[in-house]
Amino acid sequence: MGVQAFTFKASRFLASIRTPISIRQSLQFCHTFELKSLQTDTGASLSSISQGLAGRLGLNKVDRCRISGFGGYHIANIDLIDVLLPNQVVIPNVRVAEFIDNGKFDVIVGMDIRR
């Protein structure tokens, strides 16, 4: 299978890019949750999911890791999800770190997905 991608173009500088995607539990019940928007973070090496959304999806924690953010270092739960892009491409088994809900978005797409 060849590389598949989708392109997002803007006519002006954007402070953030929000793209509609869906996610589901990886290798589990295939309960799919559609997101209206997400945050793309060019500085994030690992994609992330809010603790609230992880709880609503009933994600199983597969690991823990030390991550750094604006507030310094902390230990985060790691979950596995599948990411379903608008062009019907599925990125399976994406490791995502949980972050504290901020009320703005539930998923941060990091460099691990945008490779």
pLDDT in tens, the chain (115 residues): 454 555 666 788 766 666 666 666 655 545 556 665 566 776 777 888 889 888 888 888 999 999 887 778 889 999 988 887 777 778 888 899 998 887 888 888 888 776 5
pLDDT score of 29: 46
- Which residue in 39, 26, 22 sits closest to 82, CA to CA? 26
All structural domains of the chain, each given as residue ranges with its CATH number in brackets, are 21-109 (2.40.70.10)
Residue 97 is predicted with a pLDDT of 93
CA 94 to chain centre: 8
**pLDDT for res 27:** 54
CA dist 114 and 110 (Å) reads 7
